[in-house]
Structure 1
Amino acid sequence: MAVLLYLCATSWADAKVKLPALISDGMVLQREQSVKVWGTADAGESITVKFQKKSYHATADANGRWSITLPPLKAGGPFPMQVNDIKLNDILVGDVWLCSGQSNMELPVRRVMDMFSQEILSYNNEKIRHILIPQEYNFHAPQEELSETGWKTLTQENVMDFSALAYFFAKEMYEKTGIPVGLINSSWGGTPVEAWISEEGLKEFPLYINSKRLYEDDAYCSHIKKLEGENFYRWNLSLYRGDAGLHESIPWYAANYDDNSWQTVNMFSQSWGNNGLNPIGGSHWLRQDIEIPQSWNGKEATLRLGCIVDADSVYVNGVFVGTTGYQYPPRIYRIPAGVLKSGKNNVTVRIVSNGGQPSFVQEKPYKIICGNEEVNLKQEWKYRLGAPMPPAPEMMFFWYKPVCLYNAMIAPLQNYSIRGVLWYQGESNVSRRNEYVALLSAMIADWRRTFSQSELPFHIVELADFLSKDDLDGRRAWAEMRQEQAKAAAVNSNTYLIRNSDLGEWNDIHPLDKKTLGKRAAESVLSNTKQ
């Protein structure tokens, strides 16, 4: 009898319906379109979906797959949904936007707090939802399911992980229309457009198809990853062993270290960190003493160190306060209470250059903040080379390769009805801008097939202005890329370009003003799409 009960219980458990990550609590269903609800169960299992006082039925096929199509729905909610024994709550019906591209789409709200903190910290909206698609890649085939993820409501608890551009876009859309907004954030920094196109979509580009085939062998990819890991470990071990600043009896970051013999340099000068002709990779140490007022004694504070090329570890009075592994994020380090004292205090920065010129990015904040007061750091630092190194081993960024992101981050979305696409990408294709119109057009056609919408709206964000005025070749390349983006918008139906060049920052590839850009994205949608 016990065995029989166990078998019955097992059979019942196996028959339970499973839903994809997109079909979950808090989701936003696309209004005024047919909407699919889908999942898996045992073959032959009867499925019943109850929504808005109506029932819909299906039977799982021989492979256990099932889907039910709901008729077009009016905006509103929240509503519950029942799928057999699964109850979903807090479902909205509104407009769903796929927000995709590279780092300027991925850039989270926390990165724009310098400019918009007061607005962000005072705003909640239960009618705006965001789902972050896991960053994964696959060279074998389009995937049907995502790794674990879920819908998040725009609250103070969740907002920092929202895409900043998508956040301001959704806020403007809701304020103008009152319609709930769902944001599907499928983006990954540094990725080129060809990574987001299916193999079928790239059939006219044999170079990219052949490139993709190189990585279909899992053993080959595993070998490369293993070798990269070993090479990077050896490089860092050699760097660590060769850096006298970490091994002298008094380490160079100590508050009482005597740096009088060190060279004095201007932090923004190119005179340090190179041998007069070429940059020196490896570790570089910089120290400066600053005067802290009596009123700060023992208090918690914040150290702002702009942006640094490439990586850094930072100490205040010999206490480690933070590290960042690559050049783009702003350095914002908490100084714990009790570290600062009135009078002289020391800040030490250990910069690691992977092979290029180590540097502090100009026109960024370099200061210590305590409450409403701040002390600016000086431009003059004491400098000493730690451990000169050859360039760091190069890495194979597999997720930059053709097709792989389409397979893992777009294909699993294909059953989910969407209103349109916001696309912010192109920085990684500037060096191959002559083919961008063809590639982006291929992607637009590809995604329209994927989502079964022949006129799926695309709103393309123009690249922001970037680079120093002295970098004539670089600026010309970016300007030409913007022209290619405009051409792509012109030759594809229901495709629009969102002006962004004037919002750029010469010293930052990730400009902060995503609010103005979000409003422009909303204006593009509102002026070109029937509401």
Structure 2
Amino acid sequence: MKRVTPSRQLIVFVRITVMLLTCLSMQAFAEVHLPNMFSDHMILQREQENPVWGTDRPNQKIEVSIAGESVSTVADAEGKWRVRLPALPAGGPHAIKVAGSSTTTIKDVLVGEVWFCSGQSNMQWPVEKTYGADVEIAAANQPKIRLLSVTQHGTSIPQDDIKGQWQVCSPQTVSEFSAVGYYYGQFLHQALGVPVGLIDNSWGGSTAEAWLPRSALEASGDYDEMLELWDEQVENFDPAEFEAYKKRYQAWAKGGYKGPAMEWYRTVHPVNGQITPANIYNGMVHPLKGYGIRGVIWYQGESNRARAEQYRQLFPTLVEQWRKEWNQGDFPFYWVQLADFGKEIDEPADDEWAELREAQTIAFDELSNAGQTVIIDLGEGRDIHPRNKKTVASRLARWPLANDYGFDMACQSPRYKAMEIVGSKVRITLDHVSAEGLWSFDTHEVIGFSISGADKEFVWAKARIIDGSTVEIWSDTVEKPVAVRYGWAQNPKVNLFDRNGLPLTPFRTDDWPMLSSGRVK
């Protein structure tokens, strides 16, 4: 049978007809549309103007009203619109009415404190997997705490919306929510007496560069080699080879990690996974940027531990870039320093985890309106996810309570300030120590210091507290000390605190070469 081929004129006619019908359909069914984060049960940040945005017909007038106030605008040629709601005091519930080519109403809207909770698996770690979870979940009837969990989505293309909507905190909704985020919000709600909104935007195993836009990494000029390596990996990606390696890795892990070591990051999809530069930013940050918040809490770094030297710049770049993207000034940015984890060492040595913690501390010194929470005592050697998340959140909550909400309390852990060599001993002066001074937890012996001479060979040191903020360190085997380190290991044995129960921040007095020097990926 002869094949009948439609004429070119007929094809053109059909295409034009489809286009016209599509346009008519769009006009007939066009309606005001809001991204998913603007949903029932949402919370607006109190005492500041809050952006609200969406889409409608091109050039359509939009009016948004709340609590007797209204603002209006006109959608642009692409149908996009944005308004800023007037500042409101804490309270509610309110309704937000959005009127355009159609009308939609967002119900049960509260006004209070909104915090963005981000990072990798230790931020993602849910309430149901923490110590005392059954009690915490049973007691989670907190109708003025609202939760938004952002579905994990990695992509090379910036998105305009997320999957996920606000929920009222309850025993039914809290169990899978970020434990650090929930406990943090719980402390703030109880202290402030106002509604609290928490946005859980975290992804286990993620790298810092995945949370940054590609343009920011390119503009820096410090990450060109890293980007080139990633571009090659994406371009040469073989799905079959990827799946085969992942199966071998899973079998290796199931068999107790015996035999030659395998690389976990090779089991993460290079195109849409959580370690590729810009992927998480595009899928999970870009859609939310601008949503009114008080600030950010962050718990990440494990996946960058082999590149601590790079992290010294990368992490501050992330903080400053997010502040720029939000266009809300230098909002508070508070993070958790890496906990202790892994095998305890017999002798002092250089260590990647210690270098990453140092990079986090350096970022703290460089950034404004920032804070670091030290948890070097709360880790678990057998589990990279320590389950005492409530104490982590308690220490983290000290930062906003002291800095943003006017409570008179300590928030910063003791820090190294100065060193003085006195004969064969070293005296370390510490800063940010409580008025009651220092104390060694559990034993009178101060544990965690090592000391070195000019040979750069560190040995364990003896130490004693001299006064409220001074510690003397020495070793019988080092006659002429030149450097001291404290807590310098992946899982160090340490026990020095101030009387607030805040642990001494790990530190080193030397600046000798790092294990991570020059690593880019």
The bucket for the TM-score relative to the shorter chain is 0.5 to 0.7
- Identical-residue share of aligned pairs (%): 36
Q: How do 1:439-518 and structure 2 match up within 5 A?
A: 439-470=314-345, 476-518=351-393
**Superposed displacement of residue 530, structure 1:** 3.9
Asked if 1:93 is matched to 2:111, the reply is yes
1:30 Cα deviation from its structure 2 partner: 0.8
State the distance in 1 between where 2:151 and 2:219 align: 29
Q: What does 1:229-378 align with in structure 2 at a 5 Å threshold?
A: 229=243, 232=246, 310-311=253-254, 351=255, 353=257, 355=259
Structure 2 Cα separation of the partners of residues 392 and 469 of structure 1: 22
Unpaired segments of 5 or more residues in structure 1? 1-5, 240-280, 283-309, 312-350, 358-389
1:358-412: per-residue Cα shift (whole Å, max 9, x none)? xxxxxxxxxxxxxxxxxxxxxxxxxxxxxxxx99994344220212211221111
* CA distance, structure 2, for counterparts of residue 102 and residue 474 of structure 1: 27
| Offset from partner CA, 1:157-192 (integer Å, 9 cap, x none) | 111121000010010000000111111111111111
Could you say which residue in structure 2 is the equivalent of 1:259? none
SS at match of 1:201: helix
Contact conserved, 1:25 with 1:90, CA < 8 A, in 2?
Answer: yes
Q: Please give the secondary structure, in 1, of the residue aligned with 2:132.
A: helix
Quote the residue 1:323 is aligned against: none
Deviation at 1:8, TM superposition (A): 12
Q: Which has the higher contact order (CA 8 A, sep 6+)?
A: 1
The unaligned stretches of length 5 or more in structure 2 are: 1-20, 407-521
Q: Secondary structure of 1:490's match?
A: helix
Q: Choose which of 141, 145, 150 in structure 2 pairs with 1:133.
A: 150
Residue matched to 2:182: 167
User: Does the C-alpha gap of structure 1 residues 205 and 354 become closer, same or farther in structure 2, counting only changes over 3 Å?
Assistant: farther
C-alpha separation in 1, matches of 2:45 and 2:28:
32
**TM superposition score normalised by structure 1:** 0.66
Distance in 1 between residues matched to 2:80 and 2:349, nearest whole Å? 51
1:79 corresponds to 2:94: yes
The answer to whether 1:520 aligns with 2:395 is yes
Give the 3 Å change call, closer, same or farther, for CA 13–73 of structure 1 in structure 2. Answer: farther
Distance (whole Å) between structure 2 residues aligned to residue 145 and residue 217 of structure 1: 29
Deviation per CA, 1:242-280: give whole Å up to 9, x if none: xxxxxxxxxxxxxxxxxxxxxxxxxxxxxxxxxxxxxxx
Q: Relative to structure 1, is the Cα distance of residues 219 and 438 closer, same or farther in structure 2, using a 3 angstrom cutoff?
A: closer
- Match in the other structure for 1:423: 298
> For 1:411, which of 278, 282, 286 is the aligned residue?
286
What is the alpha-carbon distance in structure 2 between the residues aligned to residue 523 and residue 391 of structure 1? Answer: 38
Residue 124 (structure 2) pairs with residue 106 (structure 1):
yes
Distance 1:11 1:427 in 2: 47
1:16 to 8, 31, 35: 31
1:100 maps to amino acid: S
Mapped partners of 1:94, 1:391: distance in 2: 44
1:56 paired to 2:71: yes
* Paired residue type of 2:242: E
Give the secondary structure class of the aligned counterpart of 2:216. Answer: coil
Work out the CA distance in 2 between the residues paired with 1:430 and 1:105: 17
Distance 2:104 2:257 in 1: 53
Structure 1 residue 9, shift from structure 2 partner: 9.4
Contact 1:469 1:475 in 2 (8 A): no
Distance 2:328 2:265 in 1: 44
Say how many residue pairs are matched: 380
- AA aligned to 1:497 is Q
Task: Find the residue that maps to 1:25 and give its secondary structure.
Answer: coil
3-state SS of 2:321 partner: helix
Conserved 8 A contact 1:209-1:402: no
CA distance, structure 2, for counterparts of residue 17 and residue 474 of structure 1:
61
For the residues of structure 1 that align with 2:263 and 2:190, how far apart are their CA atoms?
50
Residue matched to 1:156: 171
Q: CA RMSD in A?
A: 2.9
CA distance in 2, matches of 1:462, 1:164: 16
